[in-house]
Structure 1
Amino acid sequence: MFLVRGFQCTRFTMSASSTIVNRLQQRAQQADDIIARLKLQLADLKKTAAGGGNDATVLQAENTKLQADIKNALNKLVALEHSHGVLQIPLPNASPSPATNVSCNSIPKQEIAASVKGQTMNDDQSKPKQAKKKQAKVEKKEKKEGAGPPGAPVAEPDITAVDLRIGRILEVKRHPDADTLYIEQIELGEGAPRTVVSGLVNYVKIEEMENRMVILCCNLKPAKMRGVLSQAMVMCAATPDKVELLIPPKGVEPGDRVSCEGYELGAFPPQMNPKKKIFEQIKPHLRTNASKVACYKGRPFKVEGKGVCVAPSLIDAEVR
């Protein structure tokens, strides 16, 4: 009696070492499984031999047949892989397998070199394609965001990027979780009021907020303030110790657009991109003048045909 030991042939591809390692591990596991089954069969043979010679002879014949089946299956696998151009390289320091009909020595060096060269060329050809795809994505993103061609100077945003509108405060209450915040429901002529959170408790009395016409910045990204989503910002004039609500001209209605003298009203973004910090770039140019009129770069805020927007008392104050 004897134990058939399986040898494994493993293919290596020149460009994917991790794949080779995985296949080696799989082949090793398969060989271990075959050896384990043969050991069990050998143990059964020994037990049977102790009970009777005829059974031992039958099992020995079956074991021999199993050995032949393993060799045939391995030979078919090697031949199939070779026909598909897979190089067969024995494991380092391993004895050559009798089932391995194709070895790396039997393959011409020119064929191996051509295989490696072809793989390298494929890798090199894929790099420009990946670069083109990446460039296409960048150009698509720039086009979507309204950016100019690559390399063109980026224009500084101006007041036309800000959606300033007149609103009427329908309801105002204190924020349940913040002592300095009001929560307002403000009509903007949109069919449903917007919820706005303002830090004005310490500067404006609640009764002065109710049913008041205000100026709103409507295209900032909505943000949660102590758990309440604020959908706009009430515009005010402010100094370090005083804050006043801007006063729209008489006769305005909710939804009226606020423009700036010298800047035509046009299409503004539905929502300013916070990553581009558009409002942060515009904010330093927003101040009241000597006549308390809210201005952008010295140009008054106005509602066309109705007048300008002013602060109650603050001169040369920040508008925010």
Structure 2
Amino acid sequence: MDNTDDVIRPSLAAALMKLHPEDGEQIVEYFKTHALLTREKALLQASVRDQKKLLVENGKLKKDIEQLKAQLQEKQKRRTAKALLATPPPILSPAPTTSVSQAPSPPSSQDQRERQTRRRRGERKARPTLDSPTLGAEPRVDVSRLDLRVGRILNIRRHPLAEGLTVQDVDVGEDAPRVVVSKLEENTDFEELQGSLAVLLCNVKAYKMKGLVSQARLLCCSASEDDGAELLAPPPGSTPGDRVTFLNYPGEPDRELQSKQKVWELVQPDLQVDSRGVANYKGCRFEVKGKGLCRAPSLTNCIIR
């Protein structure tokens, strides 16, 4: 209805004027005003619905942009840290010293001819570069070389050939669960552990224990080597395969820890649980990005092994 005059047809207006000669015009104006108000109300309701829809879409787009921005910043940090760690400083060779008693020999005629030829061709003798990689550089040894991941214990059972060992099948976000052979306390409640989350060292070299190959290591915390231990717990909301990272150590983990380098043996003494029960390496906390910190369930001021 484009025009308000169309609301009252001429025949209806004439009938109203005939029935009510005195009030007919006022009745016709009332109908026109009512039609205008109804139309404006419908337009206003449609505008409010569109505005709400736009606000919801803008909120989603803003959230997606923030997530992409955070991912790009994290990747840039990792690339920068990796480049800094992987690029050794250049080694400057000392300038050759000339003996006072021995004068430099004059250039031979062949050298002079070669120089003249290069000058005619516009060529220059290549200078040795100083940015060649250093041979035999010592690799870094810190917690960033450990591939620590969240895992879910699918089932747990006693080792068939060793009374003090247990066998766990653990989901660490891969196609198949990993078999982990570990030493837990005799009074461990298997039903309570089954289905729970834990922190695993996943790039340890596979090793055989009493006939079964262990493919990872469960991280436990205890007051000492001889005291009872409990599994280190990832933050609530973690999922199998989540990486445990360290803010001050952004390097990428090794594909597999080499036994000769003894990385685990060198890093492990600095893995601690502080007075608040939070796991840390040299004061830098175990963190699952966006989900929280790893903690000991009940212990404080203890070691992680």
TM-score by length of 1: 0.51
- What secondary structure, in the 3-state scheme, does the structure 2 residue paired with 1:195 have? strand
- 2:233 corresponds to 1:226: no
CA displacement, residues 106-136 of structure 1 (integer Å, 9 cap, x when unaligned): xxxxxxxxxxxxxxxxxxxxxxxxxxxxxxx
- 2:239 corresponds to 1:253: yes
Matched with 1:92 is none
Q: CA deviation at 1:317?
A: 0.8
> Mapping of 1:193-208 within 5 angstroms?
193-202=177-186, 204-208=188-192
Matched with 2:275 is 290
CA distance in 2, matches of 1:151, 1:214: 37
Q: Is the 8 A contact 1:203 1:243 kept in 2?
A: no
Q: CA deviation at 1:149?
A: 2.7
2:237 maps to amino acid: G
CA distance in 1, matches of 2:246, 2:187: 27
The structure-2 alpha-carbon separation of the partners of 1:203 and 1:215, relative to structure 1 and needing over 3 Å to count, comes to farther
The structure with the largest helix share of the pair is 1
If asked which structure has higher relative contact order (CA below 8 Å, sep 6+), I would say 2
> Mapping of 1:66-145 within 5 angstroms?
none
Q: CA deviation at 1:203?
A: 5.5
CA distance in 2, matches of 1:227, 1:273: 22
CA distance in 2, matches of 1:312, 1:193: 24
Aligned length: 171
CA distance in 2, matches of 1:263, 1:203: 37
CA distance in 2, matches of 1:274, 1:151: 18
The structure-2 alpha-carbon separation of the partners of 1:316 and 1:279, relative to structure 1 and needing over 3 Å to count, comes to same
The structure-2 alpha-carbon separation of the partners of 1:151 and 1:260, relative to structure 1 and needing over 3 Å to count, comes to closer
1:259 maps to amino acid: T
Q: CA deviation at 1:319?
A: 0.5
- Runs of at least 5 residues in structure 2 that lack an aligned partner in the other structure: 1-132
2:254 maps to amino acid: P
The structure-2 alpha-carbon separation of the partners of 1:151 and 1:177, relative to structure 1 and needing over 3 Å to count, comes to closer
Q: CA deviation at 1:312?
A: 1.4
Matched with 2:88 is none
Q: Is the 8 A contact 2:185 2:229 kept in 1?
A: no
The structure-2 alpha-carbon separation of the partners of 1:151 and 1:217, relative to structure 1 and needing over 3 Å to count, comes to closer
CA distance in 1, matches of 2:217, 2:136: 35
- What secondary structure, in the 3-state scheme, does the structure 2 residue paired with 1:256 have? coil
1:316 maps to amino acid: N
- What secondary structure, in the 3-state scheme, does the structure 2 residue paired with 1:259 have? coil
C-alpha RMSD over aligned residues = 1.4
Q: CA deviation at 1:202?
A: 2.4
1:313 maps to amino acid: S
Q: CA deviation at 1:156?
A: 4.1
2:169 maps to amino acid: Q
1:257 maps to amino acid: R
- What secondary structure, in the 3-state scheme, does the structure 1 residue paired with 2:264 have? helix
Which among 175, 194, 214 is matched to residue 210 of structure 1? 194
- Runs of at least 5 residues in structure 1 that lack an aligned partner in the other structure: 1-147
Matched with 2:256 is 271
CA distance in 2, matches of 1:280, 1:262: 20
CA displacement, residues 70-96 of structure 1 (integer Å, 9 cap, x when unaligned): xxxxxxxxxxxxxxxxxxxxxxxxxxx
2:180 maps to amino acid: V
Which among 119, 134, 143 is matched to residue 159 of structure 1? 143
CA displacement, residues 33-81 of structure 1 (integer Å, 9 cap, x when unaligned): xxxxxxxxxxxxxxxxxxxxxxxxxxxxxxxxxxxxxxxxxxxxxxxxx
Matched with 2:163 is 179
2:234 maps to amino acid: P
Q: Is the 8 A contact 1:196 1:231 kept in 2?
A: yes
Q: Which has the larger radius of gyration?
A: 1
2:270 maps to amino acid: H
Q: Is the 8 A contact 1:164 1:257 kept in 2?
A: yes
Matched with 2:20 is none
- What secondary structure, in the 3-state scheme, does the structure 2 residue paired with 1:191 have? coil
Q: CA deviation at 1:151?
A: 5.6
- What secondary structure, in the 3-state scheme, does the structure 2 residue paired with 1:276 have? coil
The structure-2 alpha-carbon separation of the partners of 1:243 and 1:260, relative to structure 1 and needing over 3 Å to count, comes to same
Q: CA deviation at 1:268?
A: 1.5
